[in-house]
Amino acid sequence: MTNDRIVKTVLLRAVPARVWAAIADSRQFGEWFGVRFEGPFIEGQLVKGRMVPTAVDASVAEKQKPYEGMACDVMVERVEPQRLLAFRWHPGESPDTSDAAPTTLVEFEIEAAEGGTMLTITESGFDQIPLAQRAKAFADNEGGWEIQCMLVAR
């Protein structure tokens, strides 16, 4: 493991089409992740969002409440149906969310596997984040992706 990349892999007990819908449909993604997006995930487009508590786990929703209303905009980089969704965002509580501020790349890759679907979530690019924010953003997202792996496709 490096300080530039977080990788989480989980076997989900769901068919690939269900997992794909949970990550590629911005409304479904928002329900488990805890974001209300203003539109669909379309390659090359910015989708504005605001943090809201997750709808699938009360204890996680309680932990998310302090972040309610915080911007969570994503720039959709790639959509390969039934296989990959990739977007860029400002990790953590970045004070600079301008177009010039560095972002990380988040990739959701799915693959059929015995017993369900293998989902790999990779977030990379932390070495571009200003040093003063880097360690906290990495640690927060490392733990956050661990939790999100339990919520997706519920």
Give the pLDDT score at 93. Answer: 65
Give 79-111 as a DSSP string.
EETTTEEEEEE--SS-S--STTS--EEEEEEEE
Q: Does an H or E element contain 21, and which?
A: helix 16-24
Give the pLDDT score at 3. Answer: 79
What value does the mean pLDDT of the chain take?
Answer: 92
User: What is the amino acid identity at position 64?
Assistant: Q
Q: In residues, how long is the chain?
A: 154
Task: Dump pLDDT digits (tens) for 47-81.
Answer: 999 999 999 999 999 999 999 999 999 999 999 99
Q: For the chain, give the percent of residues with pLDDT over 70.
A: 94
Q: Is the pLDDT of residue 18 over 90?
A: yes
